[in-house]
Amino acid sequence: MLVKAYGAHAGEKPLEPMQINRREPAAHDVQIDIAFCGICHSDLHQVRAEWAGTQFPCVPGHEIVGHVSAVGAHVADFKVGDLVGVGCIVDSCKHCDDCETGLENYCDDMVGTYNFPTPDAPGWTLGGYSQNIVVHERYVLRIRHPEAQLAAVAPLLCAGITTYSPLRHWNAGPGKKIGVVGIGGLGHMGIKLAHAMGAHVVAFTTSESKREAAKALGADEVVVSRKPEEMAAHTKSFDFILNTVAAPHDLDAFLVLLKRDGALTLVGAPASPHPSPNVFNLIMKRRTIAGSMIGGIPETQEMLDFCAEHGIVADIELVRADQINESYERMLKGDVKYRFVVDNATLAD
Ligand SMILES: [Zn+2]
Ligand SMILES: [Zn+2]
């Protein structure tokens, strides 16, 4: 079926209205009428061909929420009308060690929601800036938030799980001192989630002007990382620091804030490498630098349920489809609190 979408025909061209084809639902497929789709920084990198391998036309979007509008004959867990979400993953091999342990995000054959190979025309996946999407039931998430919050739930599907998964893996919770570096789309979710998990949360920002905003999000303390005396006050005190900043920067400044066995985990994807850290800062206190990429399907469901239970959604600015290009420019300037979400109903205008 042909549906309306918003995408680009080349890396140097703006996004524009287009029509794309969606497959008819197969036995295990769920067809979703998309209500809202968050705008992730990855969307911009991919559609502008700043990352290698972008296929055109490119329709980004992997923070998808909406209603089930059809199901295949063998789908038992979803029915028409259900509130559901789709994140960064729409398929994987389903039988490797990663898939069998519910970590489809690390499957070598993971199929991302856009720009990954698929048998469907045109040969690569097309994402959530579109009226609907058809996805295998395994990769469809149930949303238990009130429907009125649906737009603000969308960013949980990437920004939420990208921060939730490492916070859980490194045991954020009561009695733990957790740092969150960067207060943007990812960081603002990291602060909310770590706070809800019961940790003592310290937000790091380069900008004095974000101090009050970070406290409002749930930070117990805020450190302006450009102020050496503020940084020094936290030396050797953190169990875990979640670093959401993608721009290359000095990792040593944060490593020295970890106590023995502490971990600094990176979730931002820099276009060029960070300066190499001083290995002595790792050796001296058995510290770790790690990375983490989104999360598996069971963990994404767990995150959505945790957020529904704790009343957590993203702070968003709702935009029309014809404002996507402008939203990208504002996102590049950091002019968003904290996530743009597209109202997909405006695709029909
Ligand atoms: Zn994303
Ligand atoms: Zn697999």
In this predicted structure, what is the pLDDT of residue 302? 98
Instruction: Please check the confidence at residue 172 and state whether its pLDDT lies above 90.
Output: yes
**Distance (Å) from CA 230 to ligand 1 centroid:** 31
Q: Given pLDDT bands bounded at 50, 70 and 90, which one contains residue 102? A: very high
Residues with CB under 5 A from ligand 2 (ion): 92-93, 96, 99, 107
Per-residue pLDDT, averaged over 103-125, amounts to 97
**Distance (Å) from CA 41 to ligand 1 centroid:** 6
Instruction: Please check the confidence at residue 272 and state whether its pLDDT lies above 90.
Output: no
Over residues 46-58, the pLDDT tens digits come to 999 998 899 999 9
Q: Given pLDDT bands bounded at 50, 70 and 90, which one contains residue 64? A: very high
**Distance (Å) from CA 228 to ligand 1 centroid:** 32
Q: 111, 89 in Cβ contact below 8 A?
A: yes
Instruction: Please check the confidence at residue 283 and state whether its pLDDT lies above 90.
Output: yes
**Distance (Å) from CA 100 to ligand 2 centroid:** 7
In this predicted structure, what is the pLDDT of residue 322? 98
CA dist 94 and 77 (Å) reads 18
In this predicted structure, what is the pLDDT of residue 40? 97
Architecture in CATH of 160-291: 3-Layer(aba) Sandwich (3.40)
> Which numbered ligand comes closest to the C-alpha of 267?
1
User: Residues 6 or more apart from 27 whose CB is under 8 A from it?
Assistant: 72, 73, 74, 75
In this predicted structure, what is the pLDDT of residue 259? 98
In this predicted structure, what is the pLDDT of residue 186? 97
> Which numbered ligand comes closest to the C-alpha of 109?
2
> Which numbered ligand comes closest to the C-alpha of 103?
2
3-state secondary structure of 69: strand
CA dist 47 and 18 (Å) reads 14
**Distance (Å) from CA 163 to ligand 1 centroid:** 11
**Distance (Å) from CA 66 to ligand 2 centroid:** 26
**Distance (Å) from CA 24 to ligand 1 centroid:** 26
> Which numbered ligand comes closest to the C-alpha of 45?
1
What token pair was written down for 2? 């042909």
In this predicted structure, what is the pLDDT of residue 269? 84
Number of C-alpha atoms within 13 angstroms, CB side, residue 44?
A: 17
Per-residue pLDDT, averaged over 283-310, amounts to 98
Q: Which amino acid is at 203?
A: A
**Distance (Å) from CA 110 to ligand 2 centroid:** 7
Instruction: Please check the confidence at residue 248 and state whether its pLDDT lies above 90.
Output: yes
> Token pair 């490119």 is at which residue?
58
Domain with CATH 3.90.180.10 in the chain: 2-158+313-348
> Which numbered ligand comes closest to the C-alpha of 40?
1
Q: 47, 40 in Cβ contact below 8 A?
A: no
Over residues 232-247, the pLDDT tens digits come to 999 999 999 999 998 9
Which tops the pLDDT comparison, 270 or 74? 74
Q: Given pLDDT bands bounded at 50, 70 and 90, which one contains residue 75? A: very high
CA dist 259 and 126 (Å) reads 44
In this predicted structure, what is the pLDDT of residue 271? 78
> Which numbered ligand comes closest to the C-alpha of 127?
1
**Distance (Å) from CA 93 to ligand 1 centroid:** 21
**Distance (Å) from CA 129 to ligand 1 centroid:** 13
With 0-12 CB in 10 A as exposed, 13-18 as middle and 19+ as buried, what is 56? middle
> Which numbered ligand comes closest to the C-alpha of 163?
1
**Distance (Å) from CA 292 to ligand 1 centroid:** 13
User: What average pLDDT does the chain have?
Assistant: 97
**Distance (Å) from CA 106 to ligand 2 centroid:** 8
Over residues 318-346, the pLDDT tens digits come to 999 999 999 999 999 999 999 999 999 99
Instruction: Please check the confidence at residue 349 and state whether its pLDDT lies above 90.
Output: no
> Which numbered ligand comes closest to the C-alpha of 102?
2
In this predicted structure, what is the pLDDT of residue 55? 98
> Which numbered ligand comes closest to the C-alpha of 94?
2
**Distance (Å) from CA 114 to ligand 1 centroid:** 11
- CATH 3.40.50.2000 matches 2-158+313-348: no
Q: 211, 224 in Cβ contact below 8 A?
A: yes
Q: Given pLDDT bands bounded at 50, 70 and 90, which one contains residue 253? A: very high
**Distance (Å) from CA 53 to ligand 2 centroid:** 22
With 0-12 CB in 10 A as exposed, 13-18 as middle and 19+ as buried, what is 309? exposed
**Distance (Å) from CA 305 to ligand 2 centroid:** 24
Domain with CATH 3.40.50.720 in the chain: 160-291
**Distance (Å) from CA 188 to ligand 2 centroid:** 31
Per-residue pLDDT, averaged over 289-300, amounts to 98
